[in-house]
Structure 1
Amino acid sequence: MEIIMNPNSGHRKPCVAPDQQLASPLFSRLPIELRAMIFTELFGGRRVHLEFMPHPLRADKVGNRRRWRHGICEDTMQTSFASVIARQHNCLTAARRRVLDISMLFTCYRALMDGIPILYHSNVFLVINSGSRRLPVDDIRSLQAKMPKHWPLIQSLEIKWEVAPFDRNQANMVPHLCGRDAYEAFWDALAEMPALSRLRIALLMPSCPQVDPNSQPFELRDLYLGPIQRLRSLRVCEVAMPRSYLSAFGANEWESLMARNTGGQYRISWVNHDSGLVPPGPATAQIFYLPRGH
C-alpha cells in the first residue's frame, strides 16, 4: 500500500494507490475498455446544460442566490446543433431538471481517476447566454474559476449567444457596435482551453449593418470569424449566424474565411433569427473595423 500525502491535513495518510484496488472485480477483472463503457453509460455521452441561475432554496454566504447549476439536456448528443439553438430549453426547471449521477466517482480513488476524464471528455457542455445579463466572456471566466482543475479537460463545448431585442446593454454585447473588446476577450478565454476540440457556437446578433464598400480592409466577417484561428486544437467548429449577415458578403466569402482554418471540419450555417425586431445601436455607437489594438 503506497503512502500518499493528504493535502488537506498535511499528514501522511495510507491509502490504496490508483493502480491497485485488486479486491474489486470492477478493476481486477474488467479491462479498461469495458470500465469506460460502464462509466459512459452512468454519467457520459450526454448534452449537459451549464447555467448561472438563481438557486431555488439556498443563498451563499453573502446572500447571493445565483450560482452555476447543471442539468441533462432533453436533446441527445445526436440532435443537431441547429435544432438545439432553435428552441427554448426548460431543462433546468424544477419539474424537468435531471442531474448527472456521479456518485460512482466518490466510491474510491481509482474510480475517480478513471471516471473524471470520461465525465469531461465524453459530454457536450452547453452554455446559453441570452438576455444580455452577462457578457459571455464573464461566463467562461466564471466557469474557469469554479472548476479550475477540470475546466481544461472539456473537449466539446456549445454556446448560444443571443442578444435580446431592445436590451439597454445591447451595444456592449454586439461586436460590431461597442462590444468588440469583450468579444475578443471571449475568444482569448476559449483559446486557453487546451483540450477543446469541438466547438459549436451560435452568434445571434442584431441585423447586419450596412457595409460601406470603401471601408477599411478589416471587415465584418473578419471581426466575427477571424478570432477562431486562435483555437489551435479545434477539429470541429460550427458557427451559426443570422441570415441577414449574408447581405454584407456572399456565402462563398464567409465560407472562404472559415476555410482558412486547416486541419479540421469548419462550417458556417445561417439561421432565420428574427433580427428584424432588434433596433440599431444607440446614436453614439459606431461600427468598428479597425484591427485589434488600435
Structure 2
Amino acid sequence: MGSFASRLMRKRRSSKTRSSPLPRERRPLSIPQIPSNAGLFNRLPFEIRHMIYVYALGGDLVHLTQTVAMKEMGYHACQWSQPHSHHYHALGEPCPRNRLCLLETCRQIYIEASPVLYSTNTFAILGTQNMPVFWDFSRSIRKDRLELITSMHISCPADDVENVGLQYWRPTWEIIATQMPGLKDMKVRLVKVHFPPLELALEEDWVKPMLEVRGLRRFEFELAQEIWSGESTAEYNERLEWFQNELQAVMCASR
C-alpha cells in the first residue's frame, strides 16, 4: 500500500533510529487487488486478531520529522523509557525490519490492522520547526485516519512559542481542534531557558489557540524552568498549578 500506514516502520526498543520518508501519494483501498489468503491467521476470531495487531503495531511514541539530507517528511519511533531525551536520538542508523510487514500480508489484514497504527500510538511534535511537518502529515493521510488519532505529545522551547513560533503554533492547534475529534490524551511540554518567565494566563496569545480544543479525556501541561533561583519559585509554582488546572478544565470540557 502507498499510505503512511503501510510505510511506517516501528523500530525495536533501541536508542538509535533513522527517519524514513513518507509516501508522496496514496492508493485508495478501492483499487482492485488480487485476493490473498491469510491462512490460519484468518481463522482466528477478530478479537484475537485485533489483540495481535495492537501488540505488533501499537504502543510507540512516533515523532514526525523532516530529514535534513532528503528534505522529506518522515518519522522515527522512540523509547517510552526516555520521555524527555528522545529527541536526542541519533539518526542515520539502519532501522531493523520488524512486524509492520504484517500490513503487507493481504488486503483483509491491511484493512483490519491499519487503523491500529493511528489509534494506539502517540504522535509527537518536537520543536516548532517540525510543526509544518505535522501539517503535511495531516494532509497526506486519509481524513478518517487522522480522526482515529487518540494521543499526541508536543514538546518545544517556550521562547519560540511566545515569539516567532506563533506562526507555527496557531495553525497546528487549529488542525488539532477542527480535524482530530478522536483525540483523547494530550501532553504539552515547554522549556523556558531565557528571561522573562513565561506568562501564565488564559488571555495570552500563545494560550488562546489551545483553548479551542475540547473533549479530551486527559490533558497535561508541563513547564520546565531553567532561568532563575528559588526566591520566587513558590509563588510562580502556585500560579503554574492554577494555570494547569484551568487549561485542563477547559480542554477536557465537552465539545
When normalised by structure 2's length, the TM-score is 0.68
Q: Are the counterparts in 2 of residues 50 and 127 from structure 1 also a CA contact under 8 Å? A: yes
Q: Are the counterparts in 1 of residues 73 and 133 from structure 2 also a CA contact under 8 Å? A: no
Which of structures 1 and 2 has the larger relative contact order (alpha carbons within 8 angstroms, sep 6+)? 2
Matched, 1:66 2:80: no
Cα 1:255–1:200, aligned 2, differ >3 Å: closer, same or farther?
Answer: closer
When normalised by structure 1's length, the TM-score is 0.60
Query: What amino acid is the match of 1:33?
Result: E
Q: Name the structure 1 match of 2:41.
A: 26
The 5-angstrom pairing of residues 23-102 of structure 1 reads 24-28=39-43, 30-55=44-69, 65-73=70-78, 75-76=79-80, 79=81, 83-86=82-85, 88-90=87-89, 92-94=91-93, 97-98=95-96, 101-102=99-100
Q: Name the structure 2 match of 1:143.
A: 137
**Superposed CA offset, 1:189-233 (max 9, x none):** 21121222111121224535379xxxxxxx742124443332223
Q: Name the structure 1 match of 2:151.
A: 156
Cα 1:135–1:221, aligned 2, differ >3 Å: closer, same or farther?
Answer: farther
Superposition RMSD in Å: 3.6
Corresponding residue SS for 1:117: helix
**5+ residue gaps, structure 2:** 1-25, 228-232
Q: Name the structure 2 match of 1:121.
A: 119
Corresponding residue SS for 1:120: helix
Q: Name the structure 2 match of 1:261.
A: 250
Q: Are the counterparts in 2 of residues 51 and 69 from structure 1 also a CA contact under 8 Å? A: yes
Taking only the aligned residue pairs, the percentage that are identical comes to: 20
**5+ residue gaps, structure 1:** 1-6, 56-64, 164-169, 212-218, 265-294
Q: Are the counterparts in 2 of residues 158 and 201 from structure 1 also a CA contact under 8 Å? A: yes
- Structure 1 distance, partners of 2:237, 2:71, is 39
Q: Are the counterparts in 2 of residues 85 and 202 from structure 1 also a CA contact under 8 Å? A: no
Cα 1:46–1:208, aligned 2, differ >3 Å: closer, same or farther?
Answer: same
Q: Name the structure 1 match of 2:181.
A: 194
Q: Which has the higher helix share?
A: 2
- Structure 2 distance, partners of 1:226, 1:124, is 24
Q: Are the counterparts in 1 of residues 200 and 240 from structure 2 also a CA contact under 8 Å? A: no
- In our comparison, the structure showing a higher alpha carbon Rg is 1
Q: What is the total number of aligned residue pairs between the two structures? A: 216
**Superposed CA offset, 1:209-260 (max 9, x none):** 379xxxxxxx742124443332223212111223369749723431342243
* CA deviation after TM superposition for structure 1 residue 87, in Å: 5.8
